[in-house]
Structure 1
Amino acid sequence: MAKVWLVTGASRGLGREIARAALNAGETVVATARSVEEVRNGLGAEHGLHALALDITDAKAANLVATETVERFGAIDVLVNNAGYAELGFFETFTDAEVRRQFEVNLFGTMNVARAVVPHMRARRSGLIVTISSVSGLVSNGGGSVYSASKFAIEGWMEGFAQELAPLGVRSLLVEPGMLRTDFMDRKSASFGSIDIPDYAEAIAQYRAFVDEANGNQPNDPSLLAARIVARASQDGLSSRLIFGDDALAWAGAKVDQLRQEIARSADRD
């Protein structure tokens, strides 16, 4: 029996690929983004596709989308909380408003959608929440501190929330990709700090050059990740995390090794 998917940020990038993979698997997909037209332009007139407008920072709109989806299709089997963007740059170059906007979208917007959908899943004692995080939710580097902070917050929230939901039949999957070959690093999705600080000028110039060079040349194929997510959604014994890409696996492994070393040093009382 076909499942009903609700996908946020589905007009482009990984969200669009997940929506397309689910449609190709014969699922019903409610694909959302701020612009319905962009969703339809990106996915076409696919059978099973229903496009709705949603700004995830609007809690009322999230509730309306969840209610409309359940009323029309009877359930939401899979929620893909994907919508987000990146503030890329050095922390001191961001205003307070810019930092808060990063959290408003990536964390609080994602929470809005989960808060709207989860009651329907709890009522059925069934459902899967797929949360698109990032390896940057496990590892932070210079130039990514603000973005990583929002993703670290996502990780902490969902790690605990998943344990609260598991006894009620609702499953969770945290997805932590490496660098995906999407437009995530262009100026539609990424933003840079607006404060000029000469002490950081050289390092920021190098970082922006890295971002510009990497954009469009990332090593990982988003369509492969999308297919894996759709396949996992039908599997029993679902693991709680999916780390995707050789780069992400290497960075996550190095972080684990570093933590083990620091734990061992902390335990050494001599």
Structure 2
Amino acid sequence: MTKHWFITGVSTGFGKHLAELALAKGDKVAATFRQPDQADEFTQKAGANGLGLVADVADEAAVKQAVADAIARLGHLDVVVNNAGYGSLGPIEEVPDEEVQRQFDINVFGPLRVLRAVLPHLRERKSGHILNITSIGGLRAFPGVGIYNGSKFALEGIGESLAAQVGPLGIHVTNVEPSGFRTDWAGRSATYTEPAIADYRPTAGQNLANIQKASGNQPGDPERAAQAMFDLVRMENPPVHLPLGKAAVKGALDKFTTIKAEIEQYAHIGNGADFPE
């Protein structure tokens, strides 16, 4: 049951906890970092069971090389975790274009680069499990989080489509959707565009303040999240969607209950748009 992992963004947060747990349980881990000293330290601590790699998910060549090095060192990969990402927070109207582009480059194109690098290997083996760390913010949107929501909604769609595409090949895909956990997501990892437009201060501005205030006190335990993901990849029939945390589970259920009611209420309009039978 030993698994070989490839995890992006292991310097902090879920990636760090998951890599440490997998190694402690006897699995093998290839982990990416942006800083060479962090990668070297990981390699030294992991010994024969791990490898730290320098790769920014914004760099396609570095991602390809990291995947190749991981396969060469570990022999094969069983689990691929698209964890690297960050939150860009602020009113949609006010977040600068260059920041929007960076958000999508890291949160959407970054995982795509990883997927394109690992899928030939997984397809050849006709096995594997891909975990996309999205967010409850990939299922429902919040004021002041629209750009981040957009990036995670995109990754949700990619993961859901990919699950249908590679499922017949023996490869599983799960979108892992955490709510608030005690990681650096809302702290130093995030970027904030504070609302200058007064109209947005009661909505986006208030939510940004709430997020910052809660940072470090979120109910989610990263170690329990890591254990959940460790157990997930050992399931015979894992889910395509896995909300993590009580707020994520409730938020997802509330979202789809609301959508179902809304669709049913206005179904007569939607159904009436087809050619008459």
Please classify the TM superposition score into its range, dividing by the shorter chain length.
Answer: over 0.9
CA distance in 2, matches of 1:17, 1:39: 15
- Look up the equivalent residue of 1:172 and give its one-letter code: V
In the alignment, which residue of structure 2 is the partner of 1:239? 239
In the alignment, which residue of structure 1 is the partner of 2:15? 15
Q: Which range moved further: 132-141 or 29-38?
A: 29-38
In the alignment, which residue of structure 2 is the partner of 1:211? 211
CA distance in 2, matches of 1:226, 1:40: 23
The number of aligned residues is: 269
1:38 partnered with 2:38: yes
CA distance in 2, matches of 1:166, 1:180: 30
Cα gap change, 1:157 to 1:205, in 2 (>3 Å)? closer
Q: Which runs of 5+ in 2 are unaligned?
A: 273-277
Q: After superposition, what is the alpha-carbon deviation per residue over 1:113-162, rounded to whole angstroms, capped at 9, x for unaligned? A: 11101110101111110110100000001011110000000011111111
1:55-204 equivalences under 5 Å are 55-186=56-187, 188-193=188-193, 196-201=196-201, 203-204=203-204
Aligned residues of 1:5 and 1:29 also touching (Cα < 8 A): yes
How far is the alpha carbon of 1:228 from its aligned partner? 1.0
Sequence identity, in percent?
37
How far is the alpha carbon of 1:204 from its aligned partner? 4.8
Cα gap change, 1:50 to 1:42, in 2 (>3 Å)? closer
Cα gap change, 1:99 to 1:52, in 2 (>3 Å)? same
Q: Which range moved further: 30-39 or 225-234?
A: 30-39
- Look up the equivalent residue of 2:261 and give its one-letter code: Q
In the alignment, which residue of structure 2 is the partner of 1:265? 265
In the superposition, the TM-score normalised over structure 1's length comes to 0.94
How far is the alpha carbon of 1:255 from its aligned partner? 0.5
Q: After superposition, what is the alpha-carbon deviation per residue over 1:71-112, rounded to whole angstroms, capped at 9, x for unaligned? A: 222111110100000011111111111111110000001100
Q: Which range moved further: 32-41 or 251-260?
A: 32-41
CA distance in 2, matches of 1:104, 1:22: 28
How far is the alpha carbon of 1:241 from its aligned partner? 1.6
In the superposition, the TM-score normalised over structure 2's length comes to 0.91
Q: Cα RMSD over matched residues?
A: 1.9
How far is the alpha carbon of 1:40 from its aligned partner? 5.8
Q: Which range moved further: 126-135 or 197-206?
A: 197-206
